[in-house]
């Protein structure tokens, strides 16, 4: 029997059931309806320490990610992502950028690079992109304006790259702060379902 395609969503929203969460759910629903296996990581619920720029994790050469000396759940999160064929990276736009919890997670991805002292810039340990990624963002402003204003899509794409994932789609949900409890519209649902199917398609 063909093994299930595993999809892990990393969620940087502070609100369960909010716009980001609903959009991710719709993507995952489309994927699981076609046999994918989904799991969600809410960064607000997980113990992830700040990167301390100590660079201990970047000193040792090799393909395997470097070990951070901090005792938290980051290693377990990265193991879960490693075991996935597809990922979703999702964050609201707060003050023009990804949320603090998403940024904290992204900074910890420095362990995917070899960067010994004395070397100018980090070198990615593994260049191949075997996974697929979908990026999800949301903002109060209309999506087309937000996309012009924010570098967050680039940051999420960088994160997907270093996690070994090729970005196959982006869903930027605009006008996402009109009511305390707002439902995503039919247009967003449709795009989300299309991306959910896309996550299952191998090259
Ligand atoms: C602290 C804070 C900062 C925000 N900054 C922006 C912003 O710079 N631009 C924008 O369009 N929306 C901004 N918003 C609106 C959020 O992007 C919007 O509420 C969020 O995308 C909804 O996602 P959620 O339902 O998953 O929480 C901000 C909201 C908060 C609470």
The protein residue whose alpha carbon is closest to atom 19 in ligand 1 is: 177
What percent of the chain shows pLDDT beyond 70?
A: 99
What is the reported pLDDT for 201?
A: 87
C-beta 140 within 6 A of ligand 1: yes
What is the reported pLDDT for 2?
A: 55
The closest alpha carbon to 147, from 136, 133, 132, belongs to 136
Q: Please give the Cα distance from 11 to 76 (Å, whole number).
A: 15
pTM of the model: 0.97
Residue of 136, 140, 172, 181 to test ligand 1 pocket, by largest number of atoms within 8 Å of CB:
140
User: Torsion-angle region of residue 164: left (phi > 0), alpha (psi -120 to 50) or beta?
Assistant: left
How confident is the model over 139-159, as pLDDT tens digits?
A: 999 999 999 999 999 999 999
The token duo for 161 is 């790259």
Q: What is the chain's mean pLDDT, rounded?
A: 96
How confident is the model over 9-52, as pLDDT tens digits?
A: 999 999 999 999 999 999 999 999 999 999 999 999 999 999 99
Residue of 12, 93, 184, 185 to test ligand 1 pocket, by largest number of atoms within 8 Å of CB:
93
How confident is the model over 114-147, as pLDDT tens digits?
A: 999 999 999 999 989 999 999 999 999 999 999 9
Sign of the torsion formed by the C-alpha atoms of 154, 13, 75 and 107: positive
Least confident residue range of 2-6, 84-88, 108-112: 2-6
Identify the band that residue 1 occupies on the pLDDT scale cut at 50, 70 and 90.
Answer: very low
Identify the band that residue 3 occupies on the pLDDT scale cut at 50, 70 and 90.
Answer: confident
C-beta 94 within 6 A of ligand 1: yes
Domains defined along the chain, listed by start? 12-198 (3.40.50.360)
Q: Residue 186 class from Cβ within 10 Å (0-12 exposed, 13-18 middle, 19+ buried)?
A: exposed
How confident is the model over 52-78, as pLDDT tens digits?
A: 999 999 999 999 999 999 999 999 999
């Amino acid at each position: 029997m063909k093994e299930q395609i595993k999809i892990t969503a990393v969620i940087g929203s502070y609100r369960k059931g909010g716009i980001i969460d609903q959009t991710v759910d719709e993507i995952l629903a489309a994927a699981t309806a076609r046999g994918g296996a989904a799991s969600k990581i809410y960064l607000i619920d997980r113990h992830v320490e700040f990167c301390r720029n100590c660079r201990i994790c970047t000193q040792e050469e090799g393909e395997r990610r470097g070990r951070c000396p901090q005792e938290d759940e980051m290693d377990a999160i990265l193991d879960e992502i490693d075991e996935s064929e597809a990922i979703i990276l999702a964050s609201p736009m707060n003050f023009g950028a990804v949320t603090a919890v998403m940024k904290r997670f992204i900074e910890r991805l420095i362990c995917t690079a070899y960067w010994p002292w004395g070397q100018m810039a980090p070198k990615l340990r593994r260049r191949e992109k075997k996974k697929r990624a979908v990026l999800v963002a949301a903002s109060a402003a209309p999506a087309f304006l937000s996309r012009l204003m924010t570098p967050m899509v680039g940051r999420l794409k960088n994160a997907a790259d270093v996690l070994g994932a090729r970005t196959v789609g982006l869903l930027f949900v605009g006008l996402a702060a009109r009511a305390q409890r707002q439902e995503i519209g039919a247009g967003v649902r449709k795009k989300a379902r299309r991306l959910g199917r896309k996550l299952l398609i191998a090259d």
